[in-house]
Amino acid sequence: MKNTKLMLLAGLLGLALTGCGQTPTDSSSSGSDSSESSSSSELPADTITNDDLPKAQTTFVDEDGETQELNIDRLFRNSNDPHVINITPESGTKAKLLVAPITFEADASDPNDTIRATDDLYEKIRIAFTGTPEETAAVGGYISVQEFYNQSSYNKGGFDVVVLPCWVNTGMTPTEFNNSGSTYNGVKCAEFVREWYQEEWAKDGHGELGADWEYEWTDFDSDGDGFVDLIWSVYTYPSDHNQDWWAYVTYTSNSANVRNPTVKTIAFASTDFMSSYNGYDSHTFIHETGHTYGLNDYYDYNNTWKPMGSVDYMDQNLGDHCAYSKFTLGWVNPWVLRESDIDGTNGVTTAKITLRPLTNTGDCLVLASPNYNNTAFDEYLMVELVGPYGLAEKDYLNGYSGTTGFTEPGIRITHVDARVSGNSELNSTRWTTWRTDADDIGQNGTTVRLSNTYGGRSGVGTDSDFWDHTETTGSTDYAYMCEIGLIEASIGDTNCMTSPSYNAGMSSLFTAGSRFYMGDDSTWMKNFFPSRSGLWNKAQTFTSDSGRIGQRKIEIDETCTSNFSLRVNSIVEDEQYGAVATLTVTLI
């Protein structure tokens, strides 16, 4: 999980809201198609295909006129909390993930002090983080953190993992370490590693690092921003969710130091999270590393609902990252379909879309809301083909930690509301304006406003993360919004919006012959959209933030409607990719 206390602070940075009446600058960029769509010449004149659609953008122009990557890390950097970087295009430089095996002095009086630092356990840590596919297969392991992110990012966002050549002993018992200082154990471990490393490096033969150790401390600041890219502390003490012995990612308030890089983002987890897969299980490390890139948890801290239905790496550590996560990280550029593309204005009323599995190819489609800003940071529907392929195969077929995956291919549709706020809004206006322009988001955005926790981020005194139905129902009535939520093909009384332990299954996916449509009479809109109608979240604007639910002035843009209709024509087996889906999209 991500450190909740510090996530709450991010939620306080501000909120902005724009209605559908504002039109952002469209700076869409087309990329090379990664799907083999039917040629337009073979289809009716009123039909377009993937080849006719623009790609979304994952860049912005900064204050100096330079093109920069627009991803979730950019938002954190704007708030002075840099996360793991993608490979820099100019140099091909990868971030360095420094893994520190942490141990403590034995404490015979502590019945929980049961994990010993051994050569065998060290080797399990090494393989869990850096093992090649051949190494993990030989020991019955899962997949290494390094290999997972190389594959999941399509080699755009992987990193070099460096495991320290020895155990780092804090010189304290676990209890003494836990009671030392006032900060988190994870931060204390990372700071200890920094000091220990520099002391060892300065010794003859580099001390415990060894004479052949090649990395200077500054090598772990690959982008030269004065912060170590990431320190992963893996400790030998049983995890305890009720204490500060758990798995999490958090940050320090340190200032940058280019000559002697300081600790900023850290990850922390016990070796007991490795117990599955013969002790070589990396699932938890992969999930927490997702946070170090900037991804939020997609499960509910208040344990009320399950917006992603458990089947995602940022939910229950399962399969692969979803298309939305990869979009926010700049790893995929979805095709973008707007209503205006098929409204008949230019004689076009139909889009025929071909998708291959996301995990293998990066194929995905955005069905855009009105005035969509062409980035990951807006409201839209994300459409992707998922199934037991690539990184997802093992978990989808075998399940993991009580959660099962999608054993057959199908179309997953999610509703994303990743609109961004920034920390420069004044308190009097921060709740009534959103940052919508890509360049403004890149320059000034600091946080995706919504979360997947029911009720929104705790600690925000006045929020706008719900749709207020008070005026229409006559009593206090509201529906909370989420950052990303599954829209299920089959809607039961128990579903991802009603159960905190819900596990989505094949009935949640749209398969051959099934249809999804939006609009006021749509069952999907009434169950999965906070408006409970054919209106997007952005149709609602709070014009006053005095008071809480049911007390503020609200405007509704009735023209901000959703009118897409999607039909899955076919999903067929494919020797190269596993499956290929063909969709038809029209307007209702």
pLDDT in tens, 234-268: 999 999 977 899 999 999 999 999 999 999 999 99
Q: Distance (Å, rounded) from C-alpha 453 to C-alpha 304?
A: 8
List the single range of 17-31, 134-148, 165-179, 369-383 with lowest mean pLDDT: 17-31
pLDDT at 461 over 90: no
CA distances from 494 to 306, 407, 532 (A): 11, 21, 18
With 0-12 CB in 10 A as exposed, 13-18 as middle and 19+ as buried, what is 565? middle
Could you tell me how far CA 442 lies from the centroid of its own chain?
Answer: 17
Quickly count helices (H) and strands (E) in the chain.
Answer: 16, 24
Average pLDDT value for residue range 91-116: 94
DSSP code at position 149: H
**Residue 186 · residue 223 · CB < 8 Å:** no
Closest CA to 12 of 461, 418, 456: 461
Tokens, residue 514: 């099934």
Q: How confident is the model over 403-434, as pLDDT tens digits?
A: 999 999 999 999 999 999 875 543 434 444 67
Strand-pair category, 420-422 with 445-448: antiparallel
| Percent of the chain whose predicted confidence (pLDDT) is above 90 | 77
- Residue scoring higher pLDDT (527 or 436): 527
Mean pLDDT of 108-133: 97
Range list of H helices, 131-246: 133-138, 145-152, 174-179, 185-202
For tokens 């990719």, the residue is: 577
The per-residue pLDDT for 40 is 45
Task: Find all residues with CB under 8 Å of 75, minimum gap 6, and list them.
Answer: 294, 420, 441, 445, 446, 447, 448
The one-letter code for the residue type at 145 is V
Nearest to 318 by CA among 185, 251, 236, 412: 412
The pLDDT-based confidence of 468 (bands split at 50, 70, 90) is: confident
> What contacts 277, CB < 8 A, 6 or more positions away?
140, 141, 142
For residue 330, pLDDT over 50 is answered with yes
Question: Stretch 516-526: mean pLDDT, rounded?
Answer: 93
Rg (CA), the chain: 24
Spatial separation of the C-alpha atoms in residues 58 and 367, rounded to whole Å? 17
Place of tokens 């003859």: 204
| pLDDT computed for residue 458 by the predictor | 64
Residue 486 near residue 499, CB atoms below 8 Å = no
* Percentage of the chain modeled with pLDDT above 70: 87
Q: Is 350 exposed, middle or buried (0-12, 13-18, 19+ CB in 10 A)?
A: middle
Predicted pLDDT at 549:
54
Q: In terms of Cα–Cα distance, which of 532, 333, 378 is closest to 23? A: 378
Tell me the per-residue pLDDT of 532-576, one tens digit each, with 9 for 90 and over.
Answer: 999 999 999 877 654 455 556 788 999 999 999 999 999 999 999
The answer to whether 530 touches 467, Cβ cutoff 8 Å, is: yes
pLDDT of res. 8: 31
What tokens appear for 400 in the block?
């993991």
Q: How confident is the model at residue 19 (pLDDT cuts 50, 70, 90)?
A: very low
Site of tokens 């169950």: 527
Does the CA dihedral 515-521-526-531 come out positive or negative?
Answer: positive
**Cα diameter, the chain:** 79
> Helix or strand or coil: residue 500?
coil
Predicted confidence (pLDDT) at residue 14 exceeds the cutoff of 60: no
pLDDT above 60 (res 5)? no
- Number of Cβ atoms within 10 Å of the Cβ of 474: 8
Query: In the structure, what pLDDT confidence band is assigned to residue 26 with cuts at 50, 70 and 90?
Result: very low
Q: Work out the mean pLDDT of the chain and round it to a whole number.
A: 89
Tabulate helix, strand, coil % of the chain (nearest 5): 25, 20, 55
User: Per-residue pLDDT tens for 129-147?
Assistant: 999 999 999 999 999 999 9
- What is the structure's pLDDT at 241? 79
pLDDT-wise least confident of 37-46, 238-247, 363-372 = 37-46
Region for residue 177 given its phi and psi (left: phi exceeds 0; alpha: psi -120 to 50; beta: otherwise): alpha
How much is the pLDDT for 425?
47
Which residue type sits at 147?
E
Length of the chain: 588
Q: What is the pLDDT of residue 423?
A: 59
Rounded Cα gap, residues 435 and 414, in angstroms: 22
Q: What's the pLDDT at 230?
A: 96
- Name the one residue in this structure whose structure tokens are 């509910």: 300
**Mean per-residue pLDDT, 325-347:** 97
Q: Which of 270-284, 325-339, 453-467 has the lowest mean pLDDT?
A: 453-467
Q: State mean pLDDT over 90-110.
A: 91
**Looking at residue 186, what is its pLDDT?**
97
Q: What's the CA dihedral at 281, 285, 290, 291 to 10 degrees?
A: 150
CA trace torsion 281, 251, 187, 280 (10° rounding): 10
- pLDDT for 243: 84
Cα–Cα dist 11/458, whole Å: 8
Strand-pair category, 564-574 with 578-587: antiparallel
Residue type present at position 323:
A
List own/partner pairs for 272-278 with CB under 8 A and 24 or more apart.
272/115, 272/238, 272/239, 273/239, 273/247, 274/124, 274/125, 274/128, 276/142, 276/400, 276/401, 277/140, 277/141, 277/142, 278/139, 278/140, 278/141
Q: What confidence score (pLDDT) does residue 380 get?
A: 98
Indicate yes or no: pTM above 0.95: no
Q: Are 266 and 227 in contact (CB under 8 A)?
A: no
Q: Are 71 and 448 a contacting pair, CB within 8 Å?
A: no
β-pairing verdict for 230-235 and 95-103: parallel
Over residues 155-209, the pLDDT tens digits come to 998 899 999 999 999 999 999 999 998 899 999 999 999 999 999 999 999 999 9
Amino acid occupying residue 110? D
What are the beta bridge partners of residue 352?
49, 584
